[in-house]
Amino acid sequence: MCGIFGIVTQTEQNLGPILVEAARRLTYRGYDSVGAATIKNGVIDLRKDKGRVDEVAEKYKIAEMTGQRGMIQLRWATFGVPSKENSQPHLDSEGKMVGAHNGNVVNNVELREQFMAEGMTVRSQNDGESCVHAVERYVRQGKDMVTAIRMAYDDLQGDYAFVIGLADDDKLYAIKKGSGLVVGIGEGFTCVSSDLPSILPLTRKVIRLNDGDVVTLSADEVALHAVADGSFIAREPEMITDEMSSVQKGGYAHFMLKEIHEQPAVARELLHLLKNNAELPAILGAIRNARNVYLVGCGTSYHACLMGSVYFSQLGARTTIPVLAPQFVPQYLPGANNQDVAFFVSQSGETRDVLKALDAARAVGVTCFSMANVIGSTLTRTTAAWLPLTCGYEISVPATKTFTNQVITFLYLATCLGGKDLTNLMALPELMEKTIAETDPVARELADSINPWQDCYSLGYGATYAIALEGALKLKEVTYAHCEGMLSTEFKHGPLSAVTPGFPVLFSAGKDDVDVIVSGMNEVTCREGRAIAIGAEDSRLRANATDLVTIPASDAMSTPILETIPLQLLSYYMAVGRGYDPDFPRNLSKTLTVD
């Protein structure tokens, strides 16, 4: 998700240690590159490269950088592979302006072409550089910095925030659009950052910026202006009293809960990027024309593949084969060839089982695409084309936002493949926000009542089958209880014998599958078990379920994604209720690089 920090002081001084420490406090956001810039006597000193904070800081002696103004950036790659050139901050064409951003400028490719046509010097593929050139465009026309930033705002599409400064000025400027940005006010300095952890060691007096705020930072004051008309904005600073650990988690008790709540925002950012992704036509064409299409993943990513297979079938009239990565070689490789396509899915892009299946598929000529959250990972570097998940760093071991963005990517591809309208899909982030707000208190209460049980089942049908499996996996990961996910119609073929009075069984009800789910619930309730339904308000569900967790009404393809959220919340609250840390479950790792 990147992280930026900028500071303005009254006099030139050694800013390096301040910048390095600020960067260290933003590392929890995830990054692959580091860069810093200071401005002294009208000269910009820029040092950057891919790598970790301490590694890059030592290599380029960032702690020795001096100036009256400075900025540092941690980059999480979206546009352009991790490299020195794509690292931030970036310069304008003449090296008289420097800036860095957080977020995604989704029309980056188009803007770069415009800037080069206008005679600007474009040095990277990174969208952070596009923020600098977008301001440069209007400075060249004689506009002052605030006006240039306001005009650039309309050119830069997506969700982002950036900080920028001129060599021959004594100020820094910043703007917020979607991505986080906070201003700090101290004795003899002001600063701005993506998040509070880098500010609070310096000052606890802050101003939280809103979308459309343009801020001018001087050593002794800050000025806010509205992007729409340039009018002055009066906003009083506040004093932050929270502990640092709470601040890093955004006020949430655990990263898992924070990342559940981040799902609408990262989904919105993903949809922006998919809309402008140059790789999509080739990927869709290959899927459309392939003999066989395999969707390959492990664990949570495999569940996303299962969901993707349903989407491709129902929306794109295209049969696809979801495969657990270790099973690809013995079950499908002997019949695979260069007429086939395989889509490999991994949060980290380094999952050993997935990479082994990829190597085998490539060896027989299969056209291979990938989906990952870590750009520059092995998976993204060894496939014909890849799609970024744009989730930022996911600290909690249980996947939450990476799963939903994997599923949304498949839904987007299937919708485009079938030539269907994208309107419902574009409304999904708002529905996710509503789902979190409405189901959080219900999941908390439900967790308390079923936590005494050490066994349960999670059932689904059709479009919600994969969601039932993912819900069961989340419960197992963080509560250490046994929860088995399966097709609801299979429950009567054996597992029904486990039902005793009060035994909890979770049912994820698809919009078009309520009758089937009701039948399954009655098999449980007539044996005095507890049937817990998750679905949109429906008189049949309400009449037959022991408990009903309602989600907002939506179309049949969006419903499974929304139903994922209460299952995540239920898992989280059950784990906390049992005294377990949901962020770091025992025996588990975020990235599995062994067989």
For 304, the token pair is 């996303």
* pLDDT, position 594: 43
What is the mean pLDDT of the segment spanning 329-349?
Answer: 95
Is the domain of 454 the same as that of 545?
A: yes
Q: What length is written for the chain?
A: 595
Q: Output the domain CATH number for residue 490.
A: 3.40.50.10490
Is the domain of 140 the same as that of 218?
A: yes
The strand pair at 205-208 and 455-460 is best described as unpaired
Q: Output the domain CATH number for residue 52.
A: 3.60.20.10
Is the domain of 151 the same as that of 16?
A: yes
pLDDT digits (tens, 9 = 90+) for 461-482: 999 999 999 999 999 999 999 9
- Secondary structure percentages of the chain, helix, strand, coil, to 5: 40, 25, 35
Within 8 A by CB and 6+ apart from 89, the residues are: 35, 36, 37, 46, 48, 71, 73, 98, 99, 100, 128
What is the mean pLDDT of the segment spanning 125-148?
Answer: 96
* pLDDT, position 336: 97
Buried b (16+ CB within 10 A) or exposed e, 228-248: eeeeeeeeeeeebeeeeeebb
Cis peptide before 89 (omega within 30 of 0): yes
Q: How far apart are the first and last CA of the chain?
A: 30
* pLDDT, position 593: 44
DSSP letter (8 states) at residue 178: B
> Which residue from 149, 94, 103 is spatially nearest to 126, judged by alpha carbons?
103
The Cα-based distances of 44 to 13, 58, 153, 271 in angstroms read 14, 19, 24, 36
Percent of the chain topping pLDDT 90: 84
Is the domain of 220 the same as that of 149?
A: yes
Is the separation of the CB atoms in 41 and 23 below 8 Å? no
Is the domain of 409 the same as that of 440?
A: no
pLDDT digits (tens, 9 = 90+) for 477-505: 999 999 999 999 999 999 999 999 999 99
Is the domain of 338 the same as that of 269?
A: yes
What is the SS3 assignment for 462? helix
Is the domain of 454 the same as that of 542?
A: yes
**CA 581, chain centre distance (Å):** 22
pLDDT digits (tens, 9 = 90+) for 419-450: 999 999 999 999 999 999 999 999 999 999 99
What is the mean pLDDT of the segment spanning 130-137?
Answer: 98
Helix (H) or strand (E) holding 455: strand 455-460
Helix (H) or strand (E) holding 116: helix 108-117
Within 8 A by CB and 6+ apart from 399, the residues are: 299, 300, 301, 347
Q: In what order do the strands lie in the sheet with 172-177?
A: 90-91, 97-105, 158-166, 172-177, 213-217, 222-226, 232-233
Is the separation of the CB atoms in 349 and 391 below 8 Å? no
Least confident of 76-80, 340-344, 387-391: 76-80
Whether the per-residue pLDDT at 374 is higher than 90: the answer is no
CA separation for the pair 481, 459 (Å, rounded): 16
Provide the pLDDT confidence category of residue 591 given band limits of 50, 70 and 90. low
Within 8 A by CB and 6+ apart from 160, the residues are: 101, 102, 103, 104, 105, 127, 131, 177, 178, 179
For 332, the token pair is 């499908």
Is the domain of 340 the same as that of 201?
A: no
Is the separation of the CB atoms in 377 and 350 below 8 Å? yes
What is the mean pLDDT of the segment spanning 11-30?
Answer: 90
Is the separation of the CB atoms in 83 and 31 below 8 Å? no
> In terms of pLDDT, which residue wins out, 262 or 590?
262
Residue that is last in its domain, among 426, 459, 489: 426
What is the SS3 assignment for 222? strand
Is the domain of 408 the same as that of 496?
A: no
Provide the pLDDT confidence category of residue 260 given band limits of 50, 70 and 90. very high
Is the domain of 243 the same as that of 268?
A: no
> Which residue from 566, 395, 593 is spatially nearest to 474, judged by alpha carbons?
566
The model carries a pTM of 0.79
Is the domain of 218 the same as that of 76?
A: yes
Is the separation of the CB atoms in 197 and 28 below 8 Å? yes
> Which residue from 133, 131, 70, 76 is spatially nearest to 100, judged by alpha carbons?
131
Residue that is last in its domain, among 406, 426, 446: 426
CA separation for the pair 535, 44 (Å, rounded): 57
* pLDDT, position 245: 65
38 DSSP β-pair partners: 45, 70
pLDDT digits (tens, 9 = 90+) for 548-586: 999 999 999 999 999 999 999 999 999 999 999 998 888
CB atoms within 10 A of CB 79: 21
Question: What is the C-alpha radius of gyration for the chain, rounded to an integer number of angstroms?
Answer: 25
For 384, the token pair is 């014909």
Please provide the DSSP assignment of 554-567 as one string: --TTTHHHHHHHHH
Residues belonging to the active site: 2, 590
The Cα-based distances of 107 to 6, 20, 164, 507 in angstroms read 25, 31, 20, 41
* pLDDT, position 297: 97
* pLDDT, position 179: 83
Please provide the DSSP assignment of 348-376 as one string: SS--HHHHHHHHHHHHTT-EEEEEESSTT
What is the SS3 assignment for 473? helix
CA separation for the pair 305, 517 (Å, rounded): 23
Is the domain of 562 the same as that of 593?
A: yes
CB atoms within 10 A of CB 445: 11
Whether the per-residue pLDDT at 31 is higher than 50: the answer is yes
CA separation for the pair 421, 244 (Å, rounded): 45
**Domain span at 282:** 252-426
Residue that is last in its domain, among 405, 426, 447: 426
Indicate the number of domains in the chain.
Answer: 3
